[in-house]
Amino acid sequence: MGTSWSVSVAAPPGFDRGATAAAIEARLEHILGQMSHWRADSLLGRFNAAPAGAWLSLPADFARVMDAAFDVAERSAGAFDPAVGVLVDIWGHGPVKVARPPGPEEIAQALSVSGYGRLLHEHEPARLRQPGGLRLDLSGIAKGFAVDALALLLRERGCDHALVEIGGELVGMGLRPDGDPWWVEVETPACEPELLRIALHQLAVATSGDYVRGRHTIDPRSGLPVEHAVSVSVIHPSAMLADAWATALGVHAPLAAQNLACREKLAVRLLTRTGDELEEWLSPALEAMIEDD
């Protein structure tokens, strides 16, 4: 996924560090073999290269991610879209870098072959139909899924107290060895709103935005980079859904994002840009979680 992972564990009796690390690496490799946008030989890569009319049978992990992706796509009115691989690629955010930004005709062409609405998605058995020229990109949801998958792997190995992180997306289980929850701080640009400190007790947090990696989020509806979303953090029991919703909310204009977060009862912090001004907004669900020092 082009990033790193880390796991902190309050080790149970008999904990085998080497075996657990090997199991984590194997689980991640299994996920990448299915959903990596960066590997031509992944299941996703093979679907992207398939001819029009071809069907792809989905293993359980892939099917679960696609079910969630379609649901968030519908609920967000297309602000989240798993079928934006062509748009991502022409802007140089995919496996191949580009020499210049795309022009209007290139964007229009990419839009014409993109969009989850072009996908035929069946559940029994789970499979997807390639409509022709469409490319999946699960970068906005697969990383969160992988965080959840590692948390489940640890629980299955008797590790009920751990903090799992992949590329800044985190989930906390149980407590630290000192009895505290797993505290994490959500980054913000320097000299701007104070850090948001979260007790990840059976919770996940995912953040999307542009202040670290630049304007890399593409609006699936216009094909253009998002310019207003500095940082969008979502706290949720599922890292996969936190990941997807952080992307979707960042694509929407600030007021629409606020309305959507309230409608979905999501715990969200939005940090948005208007000209040279930054504005912070906390959703009612997040406000209800905050305790003043």
- Judge contact between 130 and 47, C-beta under 8 A: yes
CA separation, residue 229 to residues 33, 143, 188, 271 (Å):
31, 20, 12, 7
Report how far residue 165's alpha carbon sits from residue 162's, in angstroms, rounded to the nearest whole number. 10
Determine whether the annotation assigns residue 247 to a binding site. Answer: yes
Sign of CA dihedral 240, 58, 3, 231: negative
- Judge contact between 63 and 5, C-beta under 8 A: no
For 29, phi then psi, to 5°, come to -60, -40
- Judge contact between 252 and 289, C-beta under 8 A: no
- 60-67 long-range contacts, Cβ below 8 Å, gap at least 24? 60/126, 61/30, 61/31, 61/34, 61/35, 61/145, 61/149, 62/34, 62/35, 62/126, 63/123, 63/126, 64/145, 65/35, 65/138, 65/141, 65/142, 65/145, 65/240, 66/121, 66/126, 66/128, 67/123
SS3 251: helix
Determine whether the annotation assigns residue 209 to a binding site. Answer: no
Output the known binding site.
Answer: 140, 243, 247
Output the known binding site for Mg(2+).
Answer: 140, 243, 247
